[in-house]
Protein backbone atom coordinates (compact mmCIF):
# COMPACT_ATOMS: atom_id res chain seq x y z
CA UNK A 1 0.00 0.00 0.00
CA UNK A 2 1.15 3.50 -0.66
CA UNK A 3 1.68 6.06 2.07
CA UNK A 4 -0.97 8.34 0.65
CA UNK A 5 -3.62 5.64 1.00
CA UNK A 6 -2.60 4.94 4.60
CA UNK A 7 -2.67 8.61 5.55
CA UNK A 8 -6.02 9.12 3.88
CA UNK A 9 -7.46 6.13 5.75
CA UNK A 10 -6.31 7.63 9.05
CA UNK A 11 -8.04 10.91 8.24
CA UNK A 12 -11.40 9.24 7.59
CA UNK A 13 -11.93 7.78 11.05
CA UNK A 14 -15.20 8.02 12.91
CA UNK A 15 -16.06 11.60 13.94
CA UNK A 16 -17.31 10.51 17.38
CA UNK A 17 -13.86 9.16 18.18
CA UNK A 18 -12.25 12.48 17.26
CA UNK A 19 -14.47 14.52 19.59
CA UNK A 20 -13.78 12.31 22.62
CA UNK A 21 -10.61 13.23 24.55
CA UNK A 22 -7.93 10.57 24.75
CA UNK A 23 -7.51 10.75 28.53
CA UNK A 24 -11.00 11.49 29.79
CA UNK A 25 -11.41 12.12 33.50
CA UNK A 26 -13.28 9.43 35.41
CA UNK A 27 -16.78 10.16 36.63
CA UNK A 28 -15.85 9.34 40.22
CA UNK A 29 -12.53 9.70 42.02
CA UNK A 30 -10.41 6.57 41.86
CA UNK A 31 -8.66 6.99 45.22
CA UNK A 32 -10.73 7.02 48.38
CA UNK A 33 -9.98 6.30 52.02
CA UNK A 34 -11.26 2.75 51.58
CA UNK A 35 -8.95 2.04 48.66
CA UNK A 36 -5.97 3.36 50.65
CA UNK A 37 -6.85 1.06 53.57
CA UNK A 38 -7.22 -1.91 51.23
CA UNK A 39 -3.87 -1.05 49.62
CA UNK A 40 -2.14 -1.01 53.02
CA UNK A 41 -3.73 -4.33 54.01
CA UNK A 42 -2.80 -5.98 50.71
CA UNK A 43 0.78 -4.73 50.88
CA UNK A 44 1.12 -5.92 54.50
CA UNK A 45 -0.19 -9.35 53.55
CA UNK A 46 2.00 -9.56 50.47
CA UNK A 47 5.25 -8.43 52.10
CA UNK A 48 4.51 -10.41 55.27
CA UNK A 49 3.84 -13.48 53.16
CA UNK A 50 7.10 -13.01 51.30
CA UNK A 51 8.91 -12.72 54.64
CA UNK A 52 7.28 -15.94 55.90
CA UNK A 53 8.15 -17.74 52.68
CA UNK A 54 11.78 -16.68 52.95
CA UNK A 55 12.18 -17.39 56.66
CA UNK A 56 10.61 -20.84 56.36
CA UNK A 57 13.94 -22.28 55.25
CA UNK A 58 15.80 -21.30 58.43
CA UNK A 59 13.55 -22.70 61.20
CA UNK A 60 12.46 -26.15 62.32
CA UNK A 61 8.74 -25.60 61.64
CA UNK A 62 9.46 -24.26 58.19
CA UNK A 63 6.70 -26.18 56.48
CA UNK A 64 3.98 -24.38 58.41
CA UNK A 65 5.66 -21.01 57.94
CA UNK A 66 5.85 -21.66 54.21
CA UNK A 67 2.18 -22.66 54.10
CA UNK A 68 1.25 -19.54 56.10
CA UNK A 69 3.28 -17.35 53.77
CA UNK A 70 1.70 -18.95 50.75
CA UNK A 71 -1.75 -18.39 52.23
CA UNK A 72 -0.95 -14.74 52.99
CA UNK A 73 0.32 -14.08 49.46
CA UNK A 74 -2.68 -15.88 47.95
CA UNK A 75 -5.08 -13.85 50.12
CA UNK A 76 -3.35 -10.61 49.12
CA UNK A 77 -3.65 -11.38 45.41
CA UNK A 78 -7.27 -12.49 45.84
CA UNK A 79 -8.17 -9.26 47.62
CA UNK A 80 -6.37 -7.11 45.05
CA UNK A 81 -7.51 -8.82 41.85
CA UNK A 82 -10.63 -10.75 42.83
CA UNK A 83 -12.52 -8.94 45.56
CA UNK A 84 -11.73 -5.31 44.74
CA UNK A 85 -12.26 -5.70 41.00
CA UNK A 86 -15.60 -7.43 41.55
CA UNK A 87 -16.69 -4.64 43.91
CA UNK A 88 -15.67 -2.02 41.33
CA UNK A 89 -17.74 -3.75 38.66
CA UNK A 90 -20.78 -3.80 40.97
CA UNK A 91 -20.82 0.02 41.20
* Domain boundaries along the sequence of the chain: 32-91
- Is residue 6's pLDDT more than 80? no
Helices (H) and strands (E) in the chain, counts: 5, 0
CA distance 10 to 47: 47
Q: What percentage of residues in the chain have a pLDDT greater than 90? A: 40
pTM value surpassing 0.85: no
Burial of 76 by CB count in 10 Å (0-12 exposed, 13-18 middle, 19+ buried)? Answer: buried
- Is residue 9's pLDDT more than 50? no
CA distance 48 to 40: 12
35 — pLDDT class (breaks 50, 70, 90) = confident
Amino acid sequence: MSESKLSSDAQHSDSSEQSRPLFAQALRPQVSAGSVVIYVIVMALLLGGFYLLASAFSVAVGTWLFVGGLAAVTLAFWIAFGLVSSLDRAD
